[in-house]
Structure 1
Amino acid sequence: MKSALFILLAASLVSAAETPKPKPKPEFQYKSAGIEVSIPTADEPRVAAFNAATVKAAAKYLDDGAVSWVREKSCINCHTTGPYLTERPALIPLLGQANEEIVADFIDFVPKEVKEVKETATKSGHKHYPAAFTSVWRSLGLAEWDKHVTGKTSEHTEKSLRDMFERQSAAGAFVSHGEVEIPHITTDFELSLQAARAITAAPGWLSGLKDEKLAAKIAKLKAWLRQPVLKNDFDRVLRLQLAHYMPDLVPPAERDAALTLLSSKQHADGGWSTRDFSALNDWHFEISDYVRDLITNLPDAAKPESDAYMTALAIVLMRQSDIPATDKRIQRGIAWLKQEQRVSGRWWMQSLYRGNYHYITYIATCEALKALALCGEIK
């Protein structure tokens, strides 16, 4: 009897040891020497008024977050350094010089030699090419830097774009894999759209391309983008952004339908909600139980409230579609954004991925500044 009890006790101890313990809540969103950025929270006070000082605070938040990530981490990501280098260079005339540590870090991640990349698969059998996310973000960030800072496509940007196309699927798309912040690069269309943006941003690169093999890959990407498999309404309204970068790929009737869809989802308070644009299971080819529980247990799960990312993106999409900034829909969205900025300079948003660091707040802040700049609201 004693030996049986001992075996049962030992087994229970092993089981307990194998059960993962909940991770402690982080103290800082970003932390490095001289930089401490607190975790974003919903109860952070809002600004008394949106003005030059609050814009400066937002710019500092973006700079601090990106610099901290570069100094403390070893990756290019879609939630901090990726958004920083894709959006911050265009804002240099309004916010001042972007931090060059970020572009130097991106350059360090460009492979010394472009090699063939073989397709792989997840445990569930989902086929994709390794580092597709990283190659797209790296290429887009470097291309935007060249566009707004150097004025010409650099050798490292050229090499990065070539490496990116080594990770293109046979169908022509760039395939999403692994869970990331909803809605940032969760579908194949969104990731492929960012790749398309990269090749159009690189100054003179596309028009001067003479490599027939690479040109064929670009033609394949365009063919896929003309008639992609759209996962949700988020993909459908993103067709407006594709029309901005590659107008010939989106018929006028489709643009009009996308604008109608986007307008129909504006809330009474003037904002938009990311979660209105997709059923939970349609964000990604695979949704973990953790993410599903996180989203379905949010206080506003039944009727999602407006959020900063989707409100800003809706404004960006309309401005890129030549809707004037004076349009009532845009003006209501601007008013919502201005009143929702927090005293740290950030625009708070609940993470729909892990619910701890709330990196979507960083993404939302990038997008909010872009939206306000496109409307002439940043002086």
Structure 2
Amino acid sequence: MKPICFLLLSTSAVFAADAPKPKPKPEFQYQTEGIQVSLPRADEPKVKAFGPETIKAAAKYLDDGAICWVREKTCVNCHTTGPYLSERPALARQLGMPLEEVLADFVKTVPAEVKPQKETEKDGIKYYGGSWTSIWRSIGLAEWDKHVTGKLSAHTERSLQEMLMRQSADGSFVSYGEVEIPHITTDFELTLQAARAVTAAPAWLSSLKDPELLARVEKMKAWLRNAPPKNDFDRILRLQLAYYMPELVPQPQRDAALSLLSSKQHADGGWCLRDMSALNDWHFKMSDTVVKLISGLPDAASPESDAYMTSFAIVLMRQNNVPVSDERIQRGLAWLKREQRVSGRWWMQSLYRGNYSYITYIATAQAMKALALCDELH
């Protein structure tokens, strides 16, 4: 029973009590029994010097975040377990073996039988539900096979087949819903991730015989070759497409993409993800939450360098044979080394939701990939 004094509250107070209360700020970014990972924050101290101990701290952050997610959430996603399994297997030589518990969590989501999927339409957009989950699962399983076992597994093959069942009629992969920059953005970005999955799986593409699957792969290639870019992010992603499927990107397109990427490097040596697109061009459906968050950031008028885009720029250049000694890469590496935080991670402002700041995890995974490609993880 409510106390009598409740009846004496003013009308405005009653209405306030009925209004939905904001969710309390979480205490930790990741948490499970025996592991607590603090929330990322902009004022976390930076490392005094980048080196072996800070590399170990970054590896621990990635492992801890992934294992917490598996034990507490048990779903494949684009911001924690997705980046973990897509990038961590390639770092086994430098950081030790990736966690088999994360692999097992992915494997159990692969359907026992591949069936045709049902297309959905909403607001005039046709799409297959769960396409991005299927793609991220397939990338992670394929990268594990490539870098850990060295051979194609039955579950990876089945995951790739199931993924292709979610392909749209034009050859693309479409994700409907709230944008999560940078990993659920344009159709080109998502379809490129699918291309990565089929090329990473050991010998899968070269040995593919199934006529329907071959036709789907060819349709995906044709779409990627001809799709008009939605924003500058799509334009620079041609560099990554050139790495996965070089036959799809002629040299003039590569040169133009590299020139565009180079032109966006900041004076401090870094790059910024927000420079890559007008706010409303990231996705065909931008939620008010995302628009208000990004447009309300203190540096909205002149965005500062960030860890994800700086790392990704280095990755793209290295994947396109730009030497480590190149001034652009050296300046980017210097930015990364001085921006690492004492927890091991690279902090970054969320461009999706500000509560857990999972983009910090994505940025850290990408930073470790960039450093590895420059032989900096000693």
Given that residues 181 and 351 in structure 1 are in contact (C-alpha distance below 8 angstroms), is that contact kept between their aligned partners in structure 2? Answer: no
Secondary structure in 2 aligned to 1:371?
Answer: helix
Given that residues 315 and 373 in structure 2 are in contact (C-alpha distance below 8 angstroms), is that contact kept between their aligned partners in structure 1? Answer: yes
Q: Does 1:111 align with 2:123?
A: no
Unmatched 5+ stretches in structure 1: 1-5
State the partner residue of 2:37.
37
Given that residues 181 and 360 in structure 1 are in contact (C-alpha distance below 8 angstroms), is that contact kept between their aligned partners in structure 2? Answer: no
Distance 1:266 1:14, change over 3 A: same
Structure 1 residue 106 displacement after superposition: 0.3
CA distance, structure 2, for counterparts of residue 35 and residue 12 of structure 1: 41
Identity %: 70
State the partner residue of 2:54.
54
Structure 1 residue 176 displacement after superposition: 2.0
CA distance, structure 1, for counterparts of residue 136 and residue 20 of structure 2: 32
State the partner residue of 2:215.
216
Secondary structure in 1 aligned to 2:157?
Answer: helix
Q: Does 1:331 align with 2:325?
A: no
State the partner residue of 2:83.
83
State the partner residue of 2:290.
291
Deviation track 1:60-104 (CA, whole Å, cap 9, x = no partner) reads 000000000000003100000000000000000000111100000
State the partner residue of 1:366.
365
Root-mean-square deviation over aligned CA pairs = 1.6
Q: How many residues align?
A: 370
Q: How does 1:1-379 map to 2 (within 5 A)?
A: 17=18, 19-122=19-122, 124-379=123-378
Structure 1 residue 205 displacement after superposition: 0.4
CA distance, structure 2, for counterparts of residue 286 and residue 145 of structure 1: 33
CA distance, structure 1, for counterparts of residue 108 and residue 53 of structure 2: 34
Farther off after superposition, 262-271 or 223-232? 223-232
CA distance, structure 2, for counterparts of residue 22 and residue 294 of structure 1: 15
> Counterpart amino acid of 2:154?
E
CA distance, structure 2, for counterparts of residue 50 and residue 267 of structure 1: 21
Given that residues 139 and 200 in structure 2 are in contact (C-alpha distance below 8 angstroms), is that contact kept between their aligned partners in structure 1? Answer: yes
Structure 1 residue 20 displacement after superposition: 2.8
State the TM-score, normalized to the length of structure 2. 0.95
Unmatched 5+ stretches in structure 2: 1-6
Secondary structure in 2 aligned to 1:127?
Answer: strand
State the partner residue of 1:3.
none
CA distance, structure 2, for counterparts of residue 238 and residue 69 of structure 1: 29
> Counterpart amino acid of 1:235?
D
CA distance, structure 1, for counterparts of residue 67 and residue 228 of structure 2: 37
CA distance, structure 1, for counterparts of residue 20 and residue 261 of structure 2: 42
